[in-house]
Structure 1
Amino acid sequence: MNDPRTQIKVSVAQRNEAAEPNISIDQPDIQAEAKSGRQHSPADGTSPGLNPGPVGNRQRLSVLPGGAAQPPQAAAPEPQGPGSARRLPPAAVWAGGLLALALLIPALVVTTHQRPDPAPAPVPAPAPATPAVPQVFTQPEVSVYLSKTGKVEVLPLEDYVVGVLAAEMPAKFDLEALKAQAVAARTFIMRRLADGDRSGVPDKQADVTDTVNHQAYISKEQLEKQWKSKTAELAKLKRAVEESRNTIMTYQGKPITASFFSSGNGYTENSEDYWNQKIPYLRSVSSPWDKQAPGYEETVKMSREAFLTKLGLAGQAIPAVATGEHQPFIQILSTTAGHRIKEISIGGMKFSGREIREKLGLRSSVFSWKTSGSDVLITTYGYGHGVGMSQWGAEGMAKEGYTATQILKHYYTGVQFSKASDFLK
């Protein structure tokens, strides 16, 4: 194998000062020092007496095998004849020694610059990070009274929320709407658990029923049977529950009464207009997305006799037309902040909008009416009591890009978000 050093040439040919250097291996930075007029020090590997000459007019050096540099060709000395051995004066000897030293210095410089850069100091491996200890959420158990069988089903909180979500909101809804519903459902039951509230439950061993009197719920057995062919939809519900896991709404440090309903008339209700109790986070807000709900406007027909009987007014006659000095048989006396009927007079008797809705089995307390022959036609708008979050409103907001957090903050005024586990101590 040839000595690799024979393949290297160090070019210090003449070049323009402004141009980029085109040399691969060079002597120490002579150019910069030449510009400054300073000579190399012995530490640079050169002699203080060596003048490299003008930077712009350098000669090319070739590296010989063994690392010796071949000097520029000089004129041959005059021959002295065969066998002649002239004795040189001391000055000549010194001159010859200096010449030899001068010829060796470039080779030393080139050889020095052929040395590889020193290997970097090894970087110590970082100490292994201490693995984070996952926070374990110890779920409370929820006891649900199953109204159809009379049995009590006991299951973990998050599994219960899945059953509520499956019963209360269509799986086709946007994920953010489903997450908002999951938080509301979890908050509702956590409020009851924290307060030890078992009101409205036939079996006192249960915390809640599976009906809309509390919140609808599909049992684990029913869920496995009814949703066996809807694996994607069930997976979506479980994802919404998991992504909102352990999250509830609070007001002044306590879980709220997270009421919700299907759809409204474009507004929600103040709590006191439906329950006669003012709750600061259940305020009337706009909900224009409600009109997208199917069945937003629905008309029911009943006979005049059935109408009067349900209201406890049997025997009275409803005039087809009330004109002149006669007062109308049905008259709205006042409305709520949510634009629902607050108080109404029928046949001279006063009712609240809620009473009319419940007595006649209407979808909401926002309605209009007219008579047709022997029948009364009543048209309702929206579905539900109107207090808290509108489910179809949540879906409309989610479709417009709102997050579950934004949806909940819109429908529940001034709430904060907390961990359900904080209320289990």
Structure 2
Amino acid sequence: MKTRKKILSIAIISLVLMMNLLQVFSYEKSRIPEYIKIGLFFDRTAKAMVAIESPEGIEAGIFYGEEYVPLFELKEKKIVLKKDVENGLGEGSYHIQIGQDFSSYREAEGFLSTIESIIRDGYLCYEGGWKVFVGIYSDENSAEENARQIRSYGYAAKPVMPSSTRVQVVDDYGNPIFMYDSSQDIYFAGRNRGVSVPIITVEGNKYRGAVTAKRLSNSDMTIINKLPLQEYLYGVVPAEMPAAWPMEALKAQAVSARVFTLSNLNKYQQFDFNLCATTNSQVYKGYSGEHPNTNRAVDETRSTIVTYQGNLIETFYHSNSGGYTESSENVWSAALPYARGIKDDFSLNELHSTWEVSFTKEDIKRQLASNNIFIGDIVDMKITSTSESGRVLSLVIYGTTGQETLEKQRSRTVLGLKSNYFFIDSNGFEKENGVAAINSSGIIFDNIALKNKKVVTASGVYNVGDSNNLYISNGRELQEIKDTSVVRASSDDFTIFGRGYGHGIGMSQYGAKKMGELGYSFEEILQHYYTGVKVE
């Protein structure tokens, strides 16, 4: 009997442990937010004013949790949001508040309608409560003068100072129609009048969801688009991958974009939104960029995510791997277990799988100077370290006054290359029958294949062919060079032969395209590019 109880106890403990492990190794999909906030303009691109319009008209609303609640409709189909700001000369946007604060929009609107016969051009303002304002005055004296006239009609009236957080909503003629404190999160959306998708247009680009302007310290207005996460992905996937590509590739891109979003929700917390609309996050073109194919890919992978041991991964992706993806620590610093370099034949013979670019020494000098690197005239370049995949980890550029070492992605960014998967002055990617190039400082290049190469001499162009009997002149004597030890005069040109486009981590988009064409599922695509992951 004791043995049975002991076995039963062990079974129960094992079951509890298994349940705990399942909780540890499973991502809670309830954590996926319904809405997301995207920064359209912020920081250096912030706006002093921005035009918003909708063909069905515009409504103002507020979000209570994950639910958008309309507050009231504007008469205008086009509005302009402006800063309520001083001009630095003691002049600015002064207003007059009439009456007291009101607890609701209906009360404030009701009061405004009772005074319209006496006081024209009144409008509502939402600042910790509802208020009735009138006018935009350049200075406090002008506002006080008009306030005295309003008080003569028996209404309380007082000047209101300009605010560093207030936003003006004006019509095409600059007349105020509403104002709000941007810390109150008032949003503007297209009216839902029987249309399938209410649209709001910002600076000529169409978006789903709602838009607001935030006044942040020492900045113009930050413009934010808040919309359902699913609808945000509609505007991302076709901007990151052509909508005509195979459906399974599009689905893989949709899942990657979703997981990237969830893994980076706090990236722009200081600006009060989640992600921006550029390549600094993911390219987002809103409703204007949507396509039925990519919308379908997003819908058919709804809530699908990629995890590693129960945690969301960082779904890095790039254009083309060039035949090998890269391990994360060879691009950045962290060695992520699911971001391992792999052989990727699917990316071969696709756009950007190989490329070639030539530089003169002056070109390189200019590239360095544009990155505040000054080492005099360029003498030579040498790759001193590569990763297992073949990407450049260290490139040394020699100058007459110094040298510069470019590590990891810096070789790509400083020289403006498609990737850091490249070789200099090589015969394709072969390293057989290689020789060393030597100058007065010693060996500066090695493994240079000479087969079928041409050498420029004072007498003309010499075809090396398959010859092993080579000679070089130093200007005083002729020396025979045998086997693979050849001295080569320095050239003013450098030809770089490269592979791939992008950082090389994670999913190769052109590789995903080829896999889709070959009949692989989006799950198989994702599991090929992300090591040891679970698609769920």
Q: TM class, shorter-chain normalised?
A: 0.5 to 0.7
**Matching residue of 1:179:** 251
Deviation at 1:236, TM superposition (A): 1.0
What is the rounded CA distance, in whole Å, between the counterparts of 1:295 and 1:191 in structure 2?
28
Q: Return the match for 1:169 from 241, 246, 250.
A: 241
In percent, how many aligned pairs have the same letter?
35
**Matching residue of 1:22:** none
Distance 1:139 1:318, change over 3 A: closer
**Matching residue of 2:26:** none
CA deviations 1:308-350 (Å, max 9, x no partner) are: 243355453344xxxxxxxxx3222121122211112221432
Matched, 1:158 2:230: yes
CA deviations 1:197-216 (Å, max 9, x no partner) are: 224x7x61110111222211
SS at 1:350's partner residue?
strand
Matching residue's letter, 1:170 = P
**Matching residue of 1:354:** 409
SS at 1:146's partner residue?
strand
CA contact (8 A) 1:259 1:389 kept: yes
**Matching residue of 1:250:** 307
SS at 2:348's partner residue?
helix
Task: List aligned pairs for 1:193-208, cutoff 5 A.
Answer: 193=265, 197-199=266-268, 204-208=271-275
What is the rounded CA distance, in whole Å, between the counterparts of 1:136 and 1:296 in structure 2?
40
Q: After alignment, is 289-298 or 151-160 more displaced?
A: 289-298
CA deviations 1:232-256 (Å, max 9, x no partner) are: xx11111111111111111122211
CA contact (8 A) 2:328 2:505 kept: yes
What is the rounded CA distance, in whole Å, between the counterparts of 2:382 and 2:252 in structure 1?
39
**Matching residue of 2:520:** 402
**Matching residue of 1:316:** 376
What is the rounded CA distance, in whole Å, between the counterparts of 1:248 and 1:153 in structure 2?
24
What is the rounded CA distance, in whole Å, between the counterparts of 2:392 and 2:491 in structure 1?
25
Paired residues, number: 260
What is the rounded CA distance, in whole Å, between the counterparts of 1:292 and 1:256 in structure 2?
29
What is the rounded CA distance, in whole Å, between the counterparts of 1:139 and 1:180 in structure 2?
20
**Matching residue of 1:331:** 382
Greater strand content: 2
Deviation at 1:139, TM superposition (A): 5.1
SS at 1:176's partner residue?
helix
CA contact (8 A) 2:375 2:404 kept: no
Deviation at 1:369, TM superposition (A): 3.4
CA contact (8 A) 1:307 1:376 kept: no
Matching residue's letter, 1:368 = F
Q: Return the match for 1:190 from 262, 269, 272.
A: 262
Query: Could you state the TM-score of these two structures normalised by the residue count of structure 2?
Result: 0.45
What is the rounded CA distance, in whole Å, between the counterparts of 1:259 and 1:136 in structure 2?
23
CA contact (8 A) 2:323 2:353 kept: no
User: For structure 1, which runs of at least 5 residues remain unmatched after alignment?
Assistant: 1-134, 228-233, 320-328, 419-425
SS at 2:516's partner residue?
helix
CA contact (8 A) 1:357 1:364 kept: yes
**Matching residue of 1:367:** 422
CA deviations 1:77-98 (Å, max 9, x no partner) are: xxxxxxxxxxxxxxxxxxxxxx
**Matching residue of 1:118:** none
What is the rounded CA distance, in whole Å, between the counterparts of 1:207 and 1:297 in structure 2?
36
What is the rounded CA distance, in whole Å, between the counterparts of 2:349 and 2:250 in structure 1?
17
What is the rounded CA distance, in whole Å, between the counterparts of 2:511 and 2:285 in structure 1?
23
Q: Which has the larger radius of gyration?
A: 1
CA contact (8 A) 2:322 2:348 kept: yes
Greater helix content: 1
What is the rounded CA distance, in whole Å, between the counterparts of 1:306 and 1:313 in structure 2?
13
